[in-house]
Structure 1
Amino acid sequence: MSVSICPSRPARGCNVQHRDAQGLDAADRAIVLATQAGLPLVPDPWGAVGREVGMSGEAVLERMQAMQERGVIRRVAAVPNHYRLGYVANGMTVWDVDDAQIDRLGREVAAIEGVSHCYRRPRHLPLWPYNLFAMLHGRSFDEVERQAAVLRERLGEACRDHRILYSSRILKKTGLRLAVRPEDPPRR
């Protein structure tokens, strides 16, 4: 499991005297440091983190939820390695979709099986007319092409053009990491 922190978004209602620039007090910071490389893959990950930082698993979970509500933590999610799962053809499909219909169609596309990411982006005319992006993963390029055909059918007349941009190399996917400071408690 991955924990993505988002320190550029200020925490609402934080006490400046007791929190650092990311809106973290010492206990929150210890939790983030203990989880930023991922949650332990054990039956009770919150308890394991709690033992590492000196608190109960329930307290860790409550603090993680509070940090998420404040916007300090963006999400806690599994981050699969698509290649290890056999999905070696990864294509970002980009679509030139009628702006008047993009919100509705974007929700429909996002719900299609096989779409892992779907979002609206600004056009950069005249070179880049695409405003809807959807990531597809397949075990072959043919599979991705078939998935893209399903998306094209769903978009119908609202779609003027599209492309599939295939991944050419694997980039290391990690969230932002906090640097360990001298005043941080030692990791167990």
Structure 2
Amino acid sequence: MSENNNIALTSLEREYIIATQKGLPLVAKPYHAVAEQLNISVEQVLSMTKDLQERGIIRRVAAVPNHYKLGYQYNGMTVWDISDEHAEKFGQMVGNLPFVSHCYLRPRFLPKWNYNLFAMVHGKTPEEMHQLRSQIKELLKDVLVERNDDSSQNIPTQSNDMLTSTEILKKTGLRLKDKTA
């Protein structure tokens, strides 16, 4: 996991992020439009973009496809109970799978929640979702924790599960608030 750097933004950098966080304008010269909106030069916009990328504040500038429009109607957060000593190594391996869009290590909350690895997958059919989960399970088979059935502890005994989406309530990345609004 990346460390918390608590990087401070200048007021202009903050304005730039607020102006572009929902996407660049869909015009022939998007950086010109942003420059005009911020009342600065295109060169300043490009320089600021490069600087923010180098500082790790902007990860990338990219087109983001709508996976639902591409036929990926099913989403599942697979959750895994893997041994702590292998969690980082195998978490990276799962995260590198081409069909995994998000992958996180998180703490367990025993006795109710024993899962520590979370991996989001997307598919066109429920069958595809289960096939993707099976591929992850095959990769993790030697590091999955098998728990004894101890119903007095209320600890789930299965080493993995998949939480599927039923409805989108909100879907955005982090958004900075416009302090002037």
The bucket for the TM-score relative to the shorter chain is 0.7 to 0.9
CA distance in 2, matches of 1:78, 1:94: 29
SS in 2 for 1:41: coil
Verify the 8 A CA contact 1:93 1:148 in the aligned structure 2: yes
The residue aligned with 1:168 is: 166
Matched AA of 1:172: K
CA distance in 2, matches of 1:87, 1:38: 22
Gaps of 5+ in 2: 146-158
Large movers: runs of 4+ above 6 Å: none
Higher deviation after alignment, 59-68 or 95-104:
59-68
- Amino-acid identity (%): 44
Aligned to 2:59: 75
Which structure dedicates a bigger proportion of its chain to strand? 1
Indicate if the aligned counterparts of 2:77 and 2:162 stay in contact, CA closer than 8 A.
yes
Instruction: Tell me the matched-pair count.
Output: 163
> What is the aligned partner in structure 1 of residue 155 from structure 2?
none
Q: Residue 115 of structure 1 contacts residue 136 of structure 1 at CA under 8 Å; is this kept in 2?
A: yes
How far is 1:132 from its partner?
0.5
Match of 1:177 in 2: 176
Please, which moves more after superposition, 32-41 or 161-170? 32-41
Q: Which residue does 1:11 correspond to in 2? A: 7
Aligned residue type for 1:166: T
Does the CA contact (< 8 Å) of 1:47 and 1:58 recur in 2?
Answer: no
SS class of match (1:163)? strand
Higher relative CO (CA 8 A, sep ≥ 6), structure 1 or 2? 1
TM-score between the two structures when normalised by the length of structure 2: 0.78
Cα deviations by residue, 1:103-122 (Å, 9 ceiling, x for unpaired) = 11111111112100111010
1:64-118 CA-partner distances (Å, limit 9, x unpaired): 34345556x3534544432222111100000000111111111111111210011
Instruction: Show the counterpart of 1:111.
Output: 96
| RMSD across aligned positions (CA) | 2.4
